[in-house]
Amino acid sequence: MRWEGLRDGGDDGGALFERAEVSAPRELGTGGAGLAAPPAGAIRAGDDGDAVAVEIRARSIINQMPASSGLPFQWTVNPYRGCSHACVYCFARRSHEYLDLDSGRDFDTKIMVKVNAGELLRKELAHPRWGGEPIAMGTNTDPYQRAEGRYRLMPEIITALRDFANPFSILTKGRLILRDISLIEQAAQVTDVSLAVSVGFLDEALWRSAEPGTPRPQSRLDVIRGFAHRGIECSVLMAPILPGLTDTPERIEETVAAIADSGASSVTPIVLHLRPGAREWYLAWLAREYPKLVPRYRDLYQRGAYVPKSYQDAVNAMVKEAARRYGLLGPGTDSDGHRNSRARRKREKSDTARPHTSEQPMLL
Ligand code: SF4
């Protein structure tokens, strides 16, 4: 297995990362965040057991997205691989297969922790070739998943971005982001910072089943309230909207109303897409929990990962109409259609703005 070399006593040849050499004791949070140390023996794909954190030392931390990705950002930082939030629809599941682990339960329970992420980021930001482009986080795995409570990688990362006035965005479902609110505030004084929380629906039974490792939806809305209370904009990715489960006018109405009530700056709907990796895992869950919906999904996703445009347009129109009624505007715009980040206004005022913006990633 390619990543076995990461572990103590392993042969590092061909490993994706070097095993961490943590020379000084790290400042760790209390408790293990529900994660155990990896067992002494080999970890094999498909092994069922406790969730484990495997500490690794990354060789680089700023990743460039391939031009073919079609995503609205080019550079990402992901301090973790795998995600204990365990959403059944997670598009990132397939990335675990590159570690010779599986995209199902292994993705949820075998979490790679890049313990040198902050230190490495600082080095890369200082490199003469780095151009200060916006960096997106939360685009592959959630940086505020459970492990972050113990490893505290994000404070180091945000501090480095603040010190280099490098624009960035964070997308998360984790409440833990509120721990770093002061740092985020400091960063927003010197650069563009874009925050988004993902809330696709409110139904608690569905949440327990489909997003079992995440904070409950109401709790995520409280994160937005926490930011709004401090005058920091936070948008919502209403994602994913699940066909047959969360796409009715009533469900959309109640979700948009709650998002508006939380003080979110905008809402962006994204209908579920099912790429390989996520597709098998999600459809197995659907067959188990909602077997009657299987034929509908077969029909909707018969042509690949995305629903037909007509369906997507209908959902978008419902969300847009509800958002209009509840006074929610498009991402990053004010009533005149201008971007309105607080950091941007400050920087424009002082005439020191750099020519970059940190667009919020739109995934899921
Ligand atoms: S929180 Fe995001 S990255 Fe984590 S499992 Fe859910 S969808 Fe995937």
CATH number, position 129: 3.20.20.70
Q: Is 177 in the pocket of ligand 1 (CB under 6 A)?
A: no
Please check the confidence at residue 10 and state whether its pLDDT lies above 90.
Answer: no
Residue with tokens 């002082």: 350
The token pair at 171 is 């997308």
Pocket test for ligand 1, best of 77, 93, 141 (most atoms within 8 A of CB): 141
CB 165 within 8 Å of CB 185: no
pLDDT digits (tens, 9 = 90+) for 167-212: 999 999 999 999 999 999 999 999 999 999 999 999 999 999 999 9
The answer to whether residue 360 sits within a structural domain is no
What's residue 20's pLDDT?
45
Among 52-61, 90-99, 287-296, 325-334, the minimum mean pLDDT is found in 325-334
Query: In the structure, what pLDDT confidence band is assigned to residue 345 with cuts at 50, 70 and 90?
Result: very low
The answer to whether residue 361 sits within a structural domain is no
Q: Positive or negative CA dihedral for 266, 273, 81, 214?
A: positive
CB 341 within 8 Å of CB 184: no
Query: In the structure, what pLDDT confidence band is assigned to residue 146 with cuts at 50, 70 and 90?
Result: very high
Tell me how far apart the alpha carbons of residues 35 and 157 are, in angstroms, rounded to a whole number: 22
Q: Is 124 in the pocket of ligand 1 (CB under 6 A)?
A: no
Query: In the structure, what pLDDT confidence band is assigned to residue 338 with cuts at 50, 70 and 90?
Result: very low
What's residue 28's pLDDT?
77
The answer to whether residue 177 sits within a structural domain is yes
Among 62-76, 216-230, 236-250, 324-338, the minimum mean pLDDT is found in 324-338
Query: In the structure, what pLDDT confidence band is assigned to residue 98 with cuts at 50, 70 and 90?
Result: confident
Residues of the chain with pLDDT > 70, as a percent, come to: 79
Mind giving me the DSSP string for 64-104? EPPGGG--S-SEEE-SEES-TT--TT-GGGGGGGGGT--TT
155 versus 104: the higher-pLDDT residue is 155
Q: What does the pLDDT average to over 328-334?
A: 58
What's residue 336's pLDDT?
39
| Pairing mode of beta strands 80-81, 110-114 | antiparallel
The token pair at 57 is 């030392």
Please check the confidence at residue 124 and state whether its pLDDT lies above 90.
Answer: yes
- The dihedral formed by the CA atoms of 243, 65, 232 and 27, expressed in degrees to the nearest 10: 110
User: What is residue 54's three-state secondary structure?
Assistant: strand
pLDDT digits (tens, 9 = 90+) for 54-70: 899 999 999 998 887 77
Tell me how far apart the alpha carbons of residues 358 and 233 are, in angstroms, rounded to a whole number: 13
8 — alpha (psi -120 to 50), left (phi > 0) or beta?
Answer: beta
What's residue 11's pLDDT?
42
Nearest atom of ligand 1 to the alpha carbon of 171: 2
How many CB atoms are located within 10 Å of the residue 25 CB?
A: 6
State the distance from the centre of ligand 1 to the C-alpha of 262, rounded, in angstroms: 22
The answer to whether residue 358 sits within a structural domain is no
CA angle 283, 289, 294 (to 5 degrees): 45
What's residue 347's pLDDT?
40
The beta-strand segments (E) located in the chain are 18-19, 52-57, 62-64, 75-77, 80-81, 110-114, 135-137, 168-172, 193-198, 235-241, 267-271
Closest to 332 (Cα-Cα) out of 167, 200, 176, 174: 167
Tell me how far apart the alpha carbons of residues 301 and 283 are, in angstroms, rounded to a whole number: 11
Q: In a 10 Å sphere around its CB, with 0-12 CB exposed, 13-18 middle and 19+ buried, how is residue 234 labelled?
A: buried
Q: What does the pLDDT average to over 72-87?
A: 94
What's residue 50's pLDDT?
77
Query: In the structure, what pLDDT confidence band is assigned to residue 42 with cuts at 50, 70 and 90?
Result: low
Tell me how far apart the alpha carbons of residues 148 and 113 are, in angstroms, rounded to a whole number: 9
What's residue 67's pLDDT?
80
What's residue 294's pLDDT?
97
Tell me how far apart the alpha carbons of residues 313 and 355 are, in angstroms, rounded to a whole number: 33
336 versus 72: the higher-pLDDT residue is 72
Pocket test for ligand 1, best of 76, 80, 83 (most atoms within 8 A of CB): 83
Q: Is 96 in the pocket of ligand 1 (CB under 6 A)?
A: no
Nearest atom of ligand 1 to the alpha carbon of 141: 3
Whole-model pTM?
0.86
Q: Is 141 in the pocket of ligand 1 (CB under 6 A)?
A: yes
Average pLDDT over all residues of the chain = 85
Structural domain count, the chain:
1
Query: Which residues are bridge partners to 110 per DSSP?
Result: 52
Among 34-43, 100-109, 166-175, 274-283, the minimum mean pLDDT is found in 34-43
Tell me the residue range of the domain where 102 lies: 2-350
Q: What does the pLDDT average to over 318-331?
A: 87
The answer to whether residue 363 sits within a structural domain is no
CA angle 281, 198, 154 (to 5 degrees): 100
State the distance from the centre of ligand 1 to the C-alpha of 31, rounded, in angstroms: 22
The token pair at 343 is 């950091």
Q: Is 359 in the pocket of ligand 1 (CB under 6 A)?
A: no
